[in-house]
Structure 1
Amino acid sequence: MARILIIEDNPVNMKLAAFLLQNAGHEVLQAVDAEQGMQVAHDMLPDLILMDMQLPGIDGITATRQLKTDAATAQIKIIALTAFAMSGDEERFRAAGCDAYMAKPIRYQAFLSLVDAMLKA
């Protein structure tokens, strides 16, 4: 299936997302902060990135902007996974370059459906 990079600093959220993706047959790459995630993205060129927006150090918005302005990673689809679910948050993340948005806590079926849709897009 696909190679998917999860950039997430919460171990419980990381474990859940990785479990769901692996059970769906995907190869999962993991990073616990934006710096590590951007390096993995450059080295491994995943098919999709799941980006937490609240990360230590560089936040997810800044990391997304950097990945989308780099020719090597600009075409990688990015899904914002975040606890931010206020009015205007989705627009803010899309403006930064995220291709899709999902609020936490994730709903399993909706999560897998969104991943599939982004991989087919």
Structure 2
Amino acid sequence: MAAILVIEDDEFFQNFLELVLSGEGHDVRIAVDGEAGLAAASTLPPDLILCDMSMPKMTGFEVIRELKKIDVIKDIPVIALSAHDTSADHDEAFTAGAAAYETKPIEMDRLIDSVNKALAGEFPNGG
């Protein structure tokens, strides 16, 4: 079982991700925006972070860049989540430090596979 932090402003996706990930035996915490996510990750570092890219106040790209500046959490893998499936968004997420990029609507089996790979350190940009 891994500790997973979900940074997501949409309540539907919060509930969906919590249901799927807890169903796989993971301990899931939710942060409703980027600032709350940074605070939650710094206070109690998780094993993995799933972060929405389109949020108010602070984009997911900004969140990932900030996460990677903090020594105690910079190596935690981050899976970027977005409704936008453009190469520019993929490039920006990976440049910021994301380990993987999943497009919404999220396919449950693919998400579980990405989570397992990220936790196992199987992505080249793992953390």
Q: Deviations over 1:66-114 (max 9, x none)?
A: 1001111101100001111123221111001111100000000000010
Residue equivalent to 2:117: 117
Q: Deviations over 1:7-62 (max 9, x none)?
A: 00000011001000000000001000000000000011000000000111011111
Please tell me whether residue 91 in structure 1 is matched to residue 91 in structure 2. yes
Please tell me whether residue 37 in structure 1 is matched to residue 37 in structure 2. yes
Q: Quick one: distance in 1 between partners of 2:33 and 2:39?
A: 10
Q: Which runs of 4+ in 1 moved over 4 A?
A: none
Q: Quick one: distance in 2 between partners of 1:35 and 1:70?
A: 14
Unpaired runs of 5+ residues, structure 2, are: 122-127
| SS of structure 2 residue aligned to 1:30 | strand
Unpaired runs of 5+ residues, structure 1, are: none
Q: Quick one: distance in 2 between partners of 1:73 and 1:116?
A: 19
Within a 5 Å distance, the mapping from 1:62-77 to structure 2 comes to: 62-77=62-77
Q: Quick one: distance in 1 between partners of 2:11 and 2:105?
A: 14
Q: Quick one: distance in 2 between partners of 1:88 and 1:60?
A: 14
**Identity, % of aligned pairs?**
37
Residue equivalent to 1:4: 4
Aligned length: 121
Structure 1 length as normaliser, TM-score?
0.97
Q: RMSD of aligned C-alpha atoms?
A: 0.7
Residue equivalent to 2:125: none
Residue equivalent to 1:50: 50
Residue equivalent to 2:17: 17
Structure 2 length as normaliser, TM-score?
0.93
Q: Quick one: distance in 1 between partners of 2:115 and 2:52?
A: 15
